[in-house]
Structure 1
């Protein structure tokens, strides 16, 4: 499957399946999934060891954005950073050669391909995403058996790793229920397999696992999905209600913890809880939460100035395209239509621009005079110019 499929259904693209519906209904949150592949270069366009070498040597990265780990021993940061916590690339390379795993944290803030991957997964699964990049020398292990408190998709870029799935581990652990090697032990091995370059693996939170490199250097992306739960939704709903309902902001009675006050407390609390379904604004709360998720991966656009300077020169023969890295939604407010981009940015247009915006949001390349909306060219040009200046639309005729 090509990169175009990545834009339409990124989970299916990662797992090399036709569509992700079956994955979400049968595997997500409950079962691991090994996506086997015959094309070892399937993820080669995403990231490479050469790209990591450039980032390490030129980006001035500080600890803990780069960490070194080994299952056999602790590696203190003092062994590979200068006094200002800046990472010393030469020391990192020497420790890697000696068997240490190099972890690049938060590379989605430094590498465009990884950022786009996170953005698309965030949009599809409606959850915050993050990445750790693991570069492991041959025959080494970064971590002993453990579980994570978030779901992970592992994309094997180069080399291979021998994976083991173990019994044990909590069901759907919370963020604060982290693995502790001092008190938690892995159970029996239930599955063992090799994850080769071009293949992917899904591991739900709480599932015990470990991986060791084979006889070749391994590079993989671990994409973490910080699951949004029913409990999280309830907390968000109550927070939103509290802002507009004085009843939820009332003080508790004095001595509320005492047994003789418990009956009164329970009656009052029950009354508030029973009114929740009628008071909750689910569309508002869920929309704001999704916008917050997407705001974590803001677009990195390199031609804003050039596009803005030439916006007024837009011609009917020019081709324009919505920037796929900029998520947006539209909302009707009376005689105005509001374009929401991120959780704080709103851009208003006359209601007559509705069809134009809906067509543009399809993310197709369109010749401006062929946009089948209800506007004449002067009116359409005003809308398009504004979107170009806002960094949401690109004039593809500008190079």
Structure 2
């Protein structure tokens, strides 16, 4: 399988962390230490505004889970800003904000085209899924106490200012779901404090304790960009699962003696070590990479803005289509059943179409007249499917 992606927004990470280069960032800071840009980056100023938050709160559909609130280091009970049936009480949200509560909009990139395109642009840089959480904090307030996150974050300050406090790093990077506990985790002494101003970007690795509070007499709006990495532990577990398909004994039940009969300890340990030796011999790096890579591609949600109007208006064979920027896809043109994977679906490809499509996708744009296939109806159906799922857009 060949994994491919467009490169429509190169240098997004580089522009976020300038003057630091991505090579320096990954060598010196990534998963190791915090980094704050010395100067604002003006080109992201219109990515999100307080006026846009106001519009979302007043005019958008807000299902349960689309909003939460926090104040003075604790999450507000849902009943303080939700109606009994679970609908958002918009007036209560704004009233709580007036009284010092932070408005949190998790996963807003799924409802905002600019944020979604921004996330897609960073997925190529990190080789990981990217998400956003939005925090709007009133003056003289803080949302959360000292804590660490279980995923790395980039923080982009959009309006107002936040005073950040940096504490210690826990031993070992946390796994997903390993949350900070004030009873268990010692944040250590204060190591740095600074004010993040509009346009500045801050990187905080997972496991690094920190706290932020509003600074000055303006509300603070920032975007927390979550980097949802996959770990080597997950890769190895997938490799074991993949190898198990070729080791029949791995599908047998655990022996009844495993937990109840100490006299069988040595025999059971021998079975375990024998199976691990077989896994070591049969595990395939390439097969595991292909499986996890395919899932990574399929997990990227479709970006389909414009697809409906394109298809409703009709496509002529001469119409130029281009690969949508930063959309991931994986294509296997040579298998028994050629297919292209994209956005939670797999599109079957005719054998004579698959290699031509692979080459033209790599070129970045094409028209249906560029294909030399006999079944033009199948070609049209395939191309229109790729428009529908957001891989292609009108050029």
What TM-score, normalized by structure 1, do the two folds share?
A: 0.86
Alignment of 1:148-297 (within 5 A): 148-215=149-216, 216-257=218-259, 258-297=261-300
Which secondary structure does the structure 2 equivalent of 1:313 belong to?
coil
Q: In the TM superposition, what is the alpha-carbon distance from 1:97 to its structure 2 partner?
A: 1.7
Partner residue of 1:300 out of 300, 303, 307: 303
Q: Is the 8 A contact 1:156 1:197 kept in 2?
A: yes
Q: Is the 8 A contact 2:239 2:288 kept in 1?
A: yes
Q: Is the 8 A contact 2:7 2:326 kept in 1?
A: no
1:126-167: CA deviations, max 9, x gaps? 323322110011221111111111111111112221111112
- Residues 105 and 254 (structure 1 numbering): CA distance in 2 closer, same or farther, change over 3 Å? same
**CA-based RMSD:** 2.9
Distance 1:346 1:284 in 2: 21
Alignment of 1:1-399 (within 5 A): 7-17=9-19, 19-39=21-41, 41-71=42-72, 75-215=76-216, 216-257=218-259, 258-315=261-318, 318-324=319-325, 326-334=327-335, 337-342=338-343, 344-351=345-352, 354-363=355-364, 365=365, 375-376=371-372, 383=379, 386-391=382-387, 392-396=391-395
Which secondary structure does the structure 2 equivalent of 1:333 belong to?
coil
Q: Which stretch of the first structure deviates more once superposed, 261-270 or 111-120? A: 111-120
Distance 1:361 1:55 in 2: 38
- Residues 94 and 146 (structure 1 numbering): CA distance in 2 closer, same or farther, change over 3 Å? same
1:81-115: CA deviations, max 9, x gaps? 11111111221111112211110011122111222
Q: Is the 8 A contact 2:258 2:265 kept in 1?
A: yes
Distance 2:104 2:253 in 1: 48
Distance 1:274 1:25 in 2: 34
Distance 1:50 1:220 in 2: 13
Distance 1:327 1:23 in 2: 24
Which secondary structure does the structure 2 equivalent of 1:194 belong to?
strand
Q: Is the 8 A contact 2:298 2:341 kept in 1?
A: no
Distance 1:377 1:261 in 2: 65
Q: Is the 8 A contact 2:157 2:197 kept in 1?
A: yes
- Residues 74 and 304 (structure 1 numbering): CA distance in 2 closer, same or farther, change over 3 Å? closer
- Residues 294 and 59 (structure 1 numbering): CA distance in 2 closer, same or farther, change over 3 Å? farther
Distance 2:10 2:195 in 1: 29
Using CA pairs below 8 Å that are at least 6 residues apart, which structure has the higher relative contact order? 2
Distance 1:303 1:108 in 2: 17
**When the two structures are aligned, how many residues end up with a matched partner?**
385
- Residues 368 and 222 (structure 1 numbering): CA distance in 2 closer, same or farther, change over 3 Å? same
Which secondary structure does the structure 2 equivalent of 1:275 belong to?
helix
- Residues 253 and 232 (structure 1 numbering): CA distance in 2 closer, same or farther, change over 3 Å? same
Which secondary structure does the structure 2 equivalent of 1:328 belong to?
strand
Return 5+ residue gaps in structure 1 as ranges.
none
- Residues 119 and 245 (structure 1 numbering): CA distance in 2 closer, same or farther, change over 3 Å? farther
Q: In the TM superposition, what is the alpha-carbon distance from 1:344 to its structure 2 partner?
A: 3.8
Q: Is the 8 A contact 2:368 2:379 kept in 1?
A: no
Q: In the TM superposition, what is the alpha-carbon distance from 1:338 to its structure 2 partner?
A: 2.9
Q: Is the 8 A contact 1:126 1:290 kept in 2?
A: no
1:52-81: CA deviations, max 9, x gaps? 222222223244321111126653222211
Q: In the TM superposition, what is the alpha-carbon distance from 1:385 to its structure 2 partner?
A: 6.5
- Residues 306 and 132 (structure 1 numbering): CA distance in 2 closer, same or farther, change over 3 Å? closer
Return 5+ residue gaps in structure 2 as ranges.
1-5
- Residues 72 and 19 (structure 1 numbering): CA distance in 2 closer, same or farther, change over 3 Å? closer
1:307-338: CA deviations, max 9, x gaps? 234555232xx432112253212223258753
Distance 1:164 1:144 in 2: 10
Distance 1:190 1:254 in 2: 53
Q: Is the 8 A contact 1:9 1:19 kept in 2?
A: no
Distance 1:209 1:347 in 2: 48
